[in-house]
Structure 1
Amino acid sequence: MIDVVVYDALACNSIWINHCKSLDIDAIIRAKNNNNNSLRLARKMVNKTDAVEVWEGEKGFEKVEVYESTFTMDNVAQPLRFVKFAIKHKDKKRTPIMIVTTCMDMALKTLFKIIRARWDIENFNNLKTECGLEHCFVHGGNAVEAVLYLIFIASNIMQLFLVRRLRNQFTVHS
């Protein structure tokens, strides 16, 4: 049985959230800037509040400030939880991670670990970062499949070339 599902910003809508709730599954959804008015209002409300928790020296970060509120999304019956993690990196860069969740009682540290781990287990992580698939330029099922096959073929040919032709360049000689 599935207790919690984690998804990216594509699922940050009432249809997906209501579907999860109808199956008694909690949802943790990455939120981004979008056209959802209720989500925009929740983000604006959180930005005017003080952090509810601050974690110093959190694994690889200088500081993480956590902000949260509850809000109602259009066409969703129950209230939802909006959480913003404001991450300050050791190089002074800042990154926000915002989530919408139906998990009203889950610890903030647990939510943070879950949403950060989502990228590590995503099936197409390598394709997105290494093969230029961060945006899908075609949307028909056959077209997407053809593009993926071409990328797999190109990747395999590149690996074959590296192994067969440049292998000696990468071996360590003592």
Structure 2
Amino acid sequence: MSTVGMGPKLVIGFEMYKPGQDPISKDEGELSVGKRLISSVVKSHRKLIDVVVYDALACNSIWINHCKNLGIDAIVRAKNNNNKSLRLAKKTVNKTEAVEVWVDEKGFEKVEVYQSTFTMDNVEQPLNFVKFAIKHKKKQRTQIMIVTTCMDMALKTSFKIIRARWDIENSIFNNLKRECGLEHCFVHGKNAVEAVLYLIFIASNIMQIFLVRRLRNHFTTQREMVRLLLKGLYLMKYKAELVFSSS
């Protein structure tokens, strides 16, 4: 689990899959682990998290009710879904007029926003169904649909959050694999693997905070930063004023 949007790309929690406890199927297993993870993070960082964003896997009453029971709001992608109430919400939105239209919004030619309030099966409180119809500069058209428990959040804020979710894959996860060795299994055994993961995430977080807070006006990659640090450590031994003596 990580932060999204502007600022350092921080990992704020992770959860191990538990064979025999979590479902075998990938989707159900991921959702089960996700519920356990969000419960753990909210317990540890109660004042840190207000909204959690997830992909279409979590567009169901189980995830939404779980988030509401924890006292946080949820924003999830809405794609093809067998939920009857959600299909009805899509039809309703398609027949309404746009509630907002944004021109030249973050590189897009135009974004039309459609909104409808509905009640999902097995969820007590009403939810917002929002469709962002996007016209790109090169005339392609795409759309993003979300379901959210945030009834008062500005639509532009919801749009920024759901688009920033891709940064988890494109920036955070890829950086952890390429630059931090996440794709390599250094040890075997549950406790050892968990300890190594903690070390990787802690090191990555420290580096991200350093880059954002100290080098905000100087763009550099994490790999280049590590190279410069190693070079500095190598040169230190040739500068007597920087060498500490214990004698």
TM-score (norm 1): 0.70
What do the CA deviations read for 1:65-104 (whole angstroms, capped 9, x no partner)? 0000100000000000000000000111111100000000
**Matched residue, 1:94:** 141
Matching of residue 119 in structure 1 with residue 171 in structure 2: no
Residues 1:104 and 2:151 are matched in the alignment: yes
SS of aligned partner of 1:57:
strand
CA distance in 1, matches of 2:111, 2:93: 15
| Partner Cα distance (1:121, 1:111) in 2 | 16
Which residue identity is paired with 2:80? N
Q: Which residue of 1 aligns with 2:238?
A: none
Q: Which residue of 2 aligns with 1:158?
A: none
Q: Secondary structure at the match of 1:81?
A: strand
Could you tell me which amino acid in structure 2 is paired with residue 121 of structure 1?
Answer: I
Distance in 2 separating the partners of 1:39 and 1:92: 29
Distance in 2 separating the partners of 1:57 and 1:3: 29
Query: What aligned pairs does 1:31-46 form with structure 2 within 5 A after superposition?
Result: 31-46=78-93
Q: Report if aligned partners of 1:119, 1:125 keep a CA contact under 8 Å in 2.
A: no
Alignment gaps of 5+ in structure 2: 1-45, 176-247
Instruction: Provide the rounded CA distance (Å) in 1 between the counterparts of 2:173 and 2:148.
Output: 23
**Who is 2:50 aligned against?**
3
Question: When you count strand as a share of all residues, which structure comes out higher?
Answer: 1
Q: How many residue pairs get matched?
A: 127
Rounded Cα–Cα distance in structure 2 between residues aligned with 1:125 and 1:21: 31
Q: Within 5 A, what are the aligned runs for 1:8-27?
A: 8-27=55-74
- Aligned position for 2:77: 30
> TM-score scaled by structure 2?
0.50
Q: Which deviates further from its counterpart, 104-113 or 33-42?
A: 33-42
The residue type paired with residue 28 of structure 1 is I
Matches within 5 A, 1:15-164: 15-122=62-169, 124=173
- Could you tell me whether the CA contact under 8 Å between 1:69 and 1:83 is conserved in 2? yes
Alpha-carbon distance in 1 for matches of 2:92, 2:82: 16
Q: Which runs of 5+ in 1 are unaligned?
A: 127-174
Q: Residue type of the partner of 1:45?
A: T
Structure-2 residue corresponding to 1:167: none
Q: Which amino acid aligns with 1:119?
A: W
Larger radius of gyration: 2
Structure 1 range deviating more: 114-123 or 100-109: 114-123
Distance 1:51 1:117, change over 3 A: same
CA distance in 1, matches of 2:165, 2:136: 19
Q: Percent identity?
A: 86
* Counterpart secondary structure, 2:105: coil
